[in-house]
Amino acid sequence: MTETVGTSTAVIRGVVPVGELADFFDRSFSTLAEVTSSQDVETTGPAFALYNGQPGESADLEVGFPTAHPVEPAGGVEVGALPAGRAARLVHHGSYDELASSWEQLGRWVDDHGLRPAHTFWEVYTTEPSPEMDPADLRTELIWPVTD
C-alpha cells in the first residue's frame, strides 16, 4: 500500500488496439520528448501509462511523463495529471509480456483486503528498455488507486 502524490503530466491519449500498443508507445514517447524539450519542460520521473478501464481488444490510455510544470498543448501532447491518494502497489520484475499476471496478482491482493479498485490505474516504467537488454532486468511499478 502506498500514498500517491498528485502530479502534473505531459501525455498523449489514445484508444488503441492492443496489438498496436508497442507502436503507440514508441511514437508517443518520441513526440513527448520533442515537445517537452522544445518547451523546456522538465520531466520529473520515469515514463508511465495510465489506463482508463481494463483493456479488452483495445486500451483507452494515456502515456507520458510527470512534469515540473504543465506543458503547452502541441503536436498531440496534452496536459494530464496523476491523482493523489491511497493505492495498492506492486513492482513487476521482468518482461512486459508478463505484466498481465502481475496485474492479476495485485487485483487478488486488493480483493483479499476488502478494497475497491478505481477505474483508472497506471504502470511506471522505472527501467528504460533498450534493444540489447535482458527483459528480465525490466522493472515496472503497478499502481492501482483503492478505497475502502
Q: In which region does residue 146 sit, left (phi positive, over 0), alpha (psi from -120 to 50) or beta (all else)?
A: beta
Q: Read off the pTM.
A: 0.94
Mean pLDDT throughout 15-27?
95
73-122 pLDDT per residue, tens:
999 999 999 999 999 999 999 999 899 999 999 999 999 999 999 999 99
Mean per-residue pLDDT for 14-19? Answer: 97
Nine-digit cell string for 78:
496534452
Note the pLDDT of residue 86. Answer: 98
At 140, the pLDDT band (50, 70, 90 cuts) reads very high
pLDDT of amino acid 131: 81
Q: Indicate whether 133 pLDDT > 90.
A: no
Mean pLDDT for 130-140 is 89
More confident residue, 130 or 64: 64
Q: How many percent of the chain have pLDDT more than 90?
A: 92
Cα end-to-end distance, the chain, whole Å: 13
Instruction: Tell me the pLDDT band of 1, cut-offs 50, 70 and 90.
Output: very high
- What is the pLDDT of the chain when averaged over all its residues? 96
Over range 42-51, report the average pLDDT: 97
Provide the number of structural domains found in the chain: 1
Residue type, 22: A
The gap from C-alpha 21 to its chain's centroid, in whole angstroms, comes to 13
3-state secondary structure 47-116: CEEEEECCCCCEEEEEEEEEECCCCCCECCEEEEEECCEEEEEEEEECCHHHHHHHHHHHHHHHHHCCCE
CATH of the domain at 110: 3.20.80.10
Q: How many C-alpha atoms does 70 have within 13 Å on its Cβ side?
A: 7
Nearest to 121 by CA among 138, 137, 100, 135: 100
pLDDT beyond 90 at 38: yes
Segments forming the whole domain that contains residue 101: 2-147
